């Protein structure tokens, strides 16, 4: 004898299964949204946290770099100051060296002057022009510096006058130009006397020789004529 199940039971079960099949994707979708939301939230929080940490690290590095830059700026400033001081010291030393060198050169010139002045050489026994230099000033203006000396042994005061002239050519014509000033053309000394004279030459005049003539007041003494090459004494 067989048992028959009611037909409606099977139908109800089948319908419930269909409903579950429709609801299940929705449930999965909702679960996915929930999981995605929390996952995004966790990811965002982690990203923000890492960004904050990275920014903090970058700020620390920037602060360190800024401090280093400031320290280097101070060091550069100190080095520049030291360099300025050193350069100034070197410049002062160079100036002192030049000054001492000039002093030494002047002393050597004076020593040479007195050595020649005191020399028993036969050329140094009377009144003479010891040295002369011609300095170029500007344009056609010049300055003559000369030294008159006499024998030192048993020297007495000697006086007289002098004449200075320049021999040259102008437009290929030989010409002599007197450059001494009558009011200043006197000398009087015992051992030596330095004379200085500013003068000018005509434009186009080509100087060749400088002539210095000394005329002692004592008529018994002979006059002295000193003739030198112009170019060789030009400074």
* Residue of 183, 173, 185 whose CA lies nearest to 212: 185
Query: Would you identify the CATH topology of the domain 124-233?
Result: Immunoglobulin-like (2.60.40)
Which residue ranges make up each domain of the chain?
1-118, 124-233
Name the band, by pLDDT with cuts 50, 70 and 90, for residue 167.
very high
Rounded to whole angstroms, the maximal C-alpha distance in the chain is: 193
The pLDDT of residue 15 is: 62
Band of residue 13 on the pLDDT scale cut at 50, 70, 90: low
Question: Residue 139: its pLDDT value, please?
Answer: 79
Residue 100 to residues 28, 91, 103, Cα–Cα distance (Å): 104, 14, 5
Confidence of residue 38 (pLDDT cuts 50, 70, 90): low
For the chain, give the mean pLDDT.
79
- pLDDT at residue 204 above 70? yes
φ, ψ for residue 78, nearest 5 deg: -65, -40
The string of pLDDT tens digits covering residues 58-115 is 888 888 888 888 888 888 888 888 888 888 888 888 888 888 888 888 877 777 767 6
The reported pTM is 0.52
Among the listed residues 179, 176, 183, 122, the one whose alpha carbon sits nearest the alpha carbon of residue 146:
179
CA distance 175 to 205: 9
Would you say how long the chain is, in residues?
Answer: 235
- The span from the CA of 119 to the CA of 190, in Å, is 17
């Amino acid at each position: 004898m067989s048992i028959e199940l009611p037909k409606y039971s099977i139908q109800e079960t089948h319908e419930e299964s269909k409903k579950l099949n429709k609801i299940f994707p929705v449930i999965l979708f909702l679960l996915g949204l929930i999981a995605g939301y929390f996952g995004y939230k966790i990811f965002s929080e982690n990203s923000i946290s890492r960004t904050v940490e990275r920014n903090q690290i970058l700020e620390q590095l920037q602060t360190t770099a800024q401090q280093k830059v400031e320290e280097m700026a101070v060091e550069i400033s100190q080095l520049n100051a030291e360099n300025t001081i050193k350069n100034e010291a070197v410049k002062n030393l160079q100036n002192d060296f030049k000054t001492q060198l000039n002093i030494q050169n002047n002393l050597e010139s004076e020593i040479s002057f007195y050595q020649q002045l005191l020399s028993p050489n036969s050329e140094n026994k009377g009144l003479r022009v010891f040295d002369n230099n011609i300095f170029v000033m500007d344009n056609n203006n010049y300055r003559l510096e000369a030294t008159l000396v006499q024998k030192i042994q048993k020297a007495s005061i000697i006086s007289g006058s002098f004449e200075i002239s320049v021999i040259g050519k102008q437009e290929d014509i030989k010409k002599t130009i007197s450059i001494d000033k009558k009011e200043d053309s006197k000398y009087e000394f015992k051992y030596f006397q330095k004379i200085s004279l500013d003068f000018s030459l005509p434009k186009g005049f080509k100087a060749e020789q400088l002539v210095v003539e000394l005329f002692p007041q004592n008529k018994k003494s002979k006059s002295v004529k000193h003739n030198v090459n112009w170019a060789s004494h030009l400074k």
